[in-house]
Amino acid sequence: MADAVLNPLHVILTLAVTVLLIQLYRKLQQRSPYPPGPRGLPLIGNVLDMPTSHEWRRFAEWGEKYGDIVYLNLLGQPMVILNSAPHASALLDKRGDVYSDRPVLAMSGELVGWSRSLVLLPYGERFRTYRRYIARWIGGHAQVARHVGLTEREADRLLLRLRDEPKDFRAHVRKFVGAIVLNITYGYDVREGADPIVEAVDRATDQFSAITSPGAFLVDVFPVLRYLPSWVPGARFKKQLPEYRRTIDAMADLPFDFVKAQMAKQIDTPSLTSLLLRTEMQTEQNEFNIKWAATSLYGGGADTTVSAIDSFFLAMTLYPDVQRRAQAEIDAVVGPQRLPISADRANLPYIEALIKEVLRWNPVAPLGVAHRVTRDDFYEGYLIPKNTLVIANIWKILHDPDVYLDPFAFNPSRYLAAQTTPVAPDPKLFVFGFGRRICPGMHLADATLFITCARVLATFTISKAVENGQVLTPEPEYTSGTISHPKPFKCKIEPRSGVAKNIA
């Protein structure tokens, strides 16, 4: 009977311990709660919640439900989605010492080899070396200005191709952008027709966009899969590896070897690569860094600029009133006797606004590339653990209806001063990335986009294609992947009347 009676001291001690544990738990919860997000399943977390395409749209939906900071758990790998500009800037811009690293992607980074390129290079001394190299050649407006003549010459070639073969406008755009970046990076002149180096880079950039999407390969979640034979379920990626490696190595080696051969004959054209090979100490490590810094400039700049220009053609097809207003401004400021030049830019505010809207309407990299947190961090009362993958949803930031009214409409006027509507933020603050990972070629991309849009508008009218008497209205649909392009569409490109027609 006595054994059944609880000792009052035991009761008091039990209650005291229980209260202490509850207080400790609450304190820990108050100190280190994760941001809100969709409830995951035991062990696997939110793996089954992850979208398989156009992830930015699902992430935006979660933002509406859970708030602008969304937390996910992918088999123990924490991920944070930032759905607003203030949060993205506060973490990625202002806390660069913690948020500037890249995730270790087993497939694309380590096994294929993209971790040698700036986009997936870990934050550290080599990263800073690459950026220092690139900045010497195109790091600011003054450096980019030396390449204006090249950009305008290649734009003239683009106009001629558009005149002669307008239906192949997307191929012409790709060749135009490739010619500029290849010349700046390697002093290489692109051939008319098929060009082996352009084709090699096109294959590599398409590959990069596909294999770096979140959740593209299971080995990125379970790195141990790399050690399994290719016939084991989940290890099929190993059959694709040899071709992927050959593709990226060709992109790096072909143009680099071209420069070295030209330099040996003393017939090289000034370029980023030749400059660095001449001025940097000749060591094996420096040669590796020069080759991959150059690869980073071309691989990172070509595909994104192509996407933006393709979006320009799509927008002009769908929004003829915008096109007419832009052409009227060019006609009034530049006149019919010549084509627009870079010096005209300050006097073409509507063209400037149009370029901003091209970049906003469908950002070329809707999610950018994930950042990795290098130590535990606290923000807005939430714990963001070490090794968390942090993704800025650039697409959501640029389609926030509270910031960009009617965000799915193409409306350059949103950036022009008006008495009734506040001027929308410049999308260039977001589309080129954040903090220490901001795109090093942003000024070159911006200059190229201006010359392209202004000269095409001065010379051609873009409209909906007509087939068998039917007007074809393209849908503004975009591909998934790290770099997002308009899906194939048709349009009609016709020279404008007057002197502009003769120029083309």
Binding residues for heme: 439
Q: 251: closest CA among 176, 186, 164?
A: 186
Q: 121: closest CA among 359, 375, 300?
A: 300
Strand 460-467: give its sheet, edge to edge.
Answer: 470-472, 460-467, 491-495
The first and second tokens of residue 337, run together, are: 């006797």
Separation of alpha carbons 33 and 27, rounded Å = 10
The first and second tokens of residue 116, run together, are: 């040698």
The first and second tokens of residue 7, run together, are: 């000792």
Separation of alpha carbons 15 and 6, rounded Å = 13
Q: Which residues are annotated as a binding site?
A: 439
Separation of alpha carbons 305 and 9, rounded Å = 75
CB distance 270 to 409 below 8 Å: no
Sequence length of the chain is 504
Helix then strand count (H, E) for the chain reads: 18, 9
| Residue type, position 205, single letter | T
Alpha helices by DSSP H, listed for 432-472, are 442-459
Pairing of β 460-467 and β 389-392: unpaired
- Helices 442-459 & 320-333, crossing angle to 10 degrees? 90
Backbone φ, ψ for residue 404 (5° rounding): -120, 100
Separation of alpha carbons 119 and 432, rounded Å = 12
The first and second tokens of residue 67, run together, are: 């708030």
Q: 152: closest CA among 20, 303, 345?
A: 345
Separation of alpha carbons 216 and 369, rounded Å = 14
CB distance 466 to 336 below 8 Å: no
Separation of alpha carbons 447 and 455, rounded Å = 12
DSSP state of 34: P
CB distance 383 to 36 below 8 Å: no
Cα 439–chain centre separation: 8
